[in-house]
């Protein structure tokens, strides 16, 4: 562990076991896990898998079971190995904001270009894009049908047909041929988006509500409120990243932690997280490790990352915990 910590510190990241509640790192909160039948044991403990002064957003799982995450500031998609090694999986992804992998191994992402508020570029005129990164690199979509910008893209989920569902205020679909259509407006704003294991149900956040749609032929119908986040503080950001396990349970990152819902929308419990969770994925060789990207981090010396005035505070921590449930 000491050698790994030294190497990670040189790379600008930090790896160590998450402390007990009485030994919280600066900015953390107690996160005592209660059991959820078939999902997680009550004696499960969070570990810190990675931490650094840049983002770890829009998570996905590679075909090998490695965690992939988007890092907007370094313009790359990163790969995190189970032993904590981290490296660039795909470089030159302009403002990488989220990544998704479909059953055929296609890797898709959103490029936010120069729209990061921390850059201070109000006149950014570089198009944001939905792109395929592998097995080939190509632009799927860079504008709406009228030629207008896609805006600051948020999250995406591959549709399995070479296109993707993506969020940016509302819910949209980009077909493999580049055609972009609006699927639904929402009351507040969209964020995370995910498909059920059979691909028949699409989920998307609308602040504290989770909406569901029936999917087919690149479209979505039968809009309904699938579930609501029960304990989000007033004025909170609400639901963020989404993930689904093999049994069709839905996991939602929020202020209170990771909400877990069954296929019918019943809340099974909340897994508390030491920091505010924004993204998640079930990864590892057997897909039984839950990785969560959360806001804030500490330096190798254990102090909170501090950024200069006028620079967006993007420090994040990736936590992981072993699960009973499994991704796919």
Residues of the chain with pLDDT > 90, as a percent, come to: 80
In a domain, residue 71? The reply is: yes
In a domain, residue 310? The reply is: yes
Residue-by-residue DSSP string for 33-89:
PPPBTTTB-TT---EEEEEESS--EEEEE-TTS-EEEEETTTTEEEEE-TTS-EEEE
Q: How far apart are CA 244 and CA 197, in angstroms?
A: 7
Residue 243, H or E segment: strand 242-244
Only one residue has tokens 């988006």, namely 193
Lowest mean per-residue pLDDT among 186-190, 220-224, 239-243, 297-301:
297-301
Domain extent at residue 215: 2-322
Q: How far apart are CA 290 and CA 92, in angstroms?
A: 27
In a domain, residue 205? The reply is: yes
pLDDT digits (tens, 9 = 90+) for 59-108: 999 999 999 999 999 999 999 998 888 999 999 999 999 999 999 999 99
pLDDT digits (tens, 9 = 90+) for 156-179: 999 999 999 999 999 999 999 999
- Helix/strand/coil for 261: strand
In a domain, residue 228? The reply is: yes
Residues of the chain with pLDDT > 70, as a percent, come to: 91
- The pTM for the full model equals 0.92
Domains identified in the chain, total number:
1
Lowest mean per-residue pLDDT among 2-11, 127-136, 188-197:
2-11
Residues 6+ positions from 309 with CB-CB distance below 8 Å: none
In a domain, residue 328? The reply is: no
In a domain, residue 304? The reply is: yes
Residue 289 maps to which CATH number?
2.120.10.30
Strand order in the sheet with 170-174: 156-158, 164-168, 170-174, 180-184
In a domain, residue 327? The reply is: no
In a domain, residue 226? The reply is: yes
Q: What is the mean pLDDT of residues 202-214?
A: 97
Q: Phi and psi at residue 202, in whole multiples of 5°?
A: -110, 130
């Amino acid at each position: 562990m000491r050698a790994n910590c030294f190497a990670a510190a040189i790379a600008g990241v930090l790896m160590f076991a998450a402390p007990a509640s009485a030994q919280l790192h600066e900015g953390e909160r107690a996160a005592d896990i209660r059991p959820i039948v078939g999902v997680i044991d009550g004696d499960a403990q969070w570990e810190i898998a990675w931490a650094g002064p840049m983002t770890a957003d829009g998570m996905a799982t590679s075909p090998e079971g490695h965690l992939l995450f988007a890092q907007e500031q370094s313009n790359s998609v990163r790969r995190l190995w189970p032993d904590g090694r981290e490296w660039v999986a795909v470089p030159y992804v302009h403002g990488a904001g989220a990544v998704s992998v479909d059953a055929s191994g296609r890797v898709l992402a959103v490029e936010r270009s120069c729209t990061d508020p921390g850059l201070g570029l109000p006149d950014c005129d570089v198009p944001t894009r939905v792109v395929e990164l592998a097995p080939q690199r190509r632009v799927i979509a860079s504008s709406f049908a009228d030629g207008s910008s896609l805006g600051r893209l948020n999250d995406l989920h591959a549709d399995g047909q070479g296109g993707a569902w993506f969020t940016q205020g509302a819910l949209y679909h980009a077909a493999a041929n580049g055609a972009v259509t609006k699927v639904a407006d929402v009351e507040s704003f969209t964020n995370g988006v995910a498909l059920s294991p059979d691909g028949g149900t699409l989920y998307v956040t609308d602040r504290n509500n989770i909406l569901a749609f029936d999917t087919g032929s690149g479209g979505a119908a039968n809009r309904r409120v699938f579930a609501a986040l029960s304990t989000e503080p007033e004025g909170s950001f609400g639901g963020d990243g989404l993930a689904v396990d093999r049994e069709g349970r839905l996991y939602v990152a929020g202020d209170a932690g990771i909400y877990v819902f069954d296929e019918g929308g019943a809340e099974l419990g909340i897994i508390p997280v030491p920091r505010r969770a924004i993204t998640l994925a079930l990864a590892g060789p057997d897909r039984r490790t839950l990785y969560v990207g959360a806001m804030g981090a500490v330096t190798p010396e254990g102090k909170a990352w501090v950024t200069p005035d006028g620079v967006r505070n993007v420090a994040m921590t990736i936590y992981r915990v072993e699960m009973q449930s499994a991704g796919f």
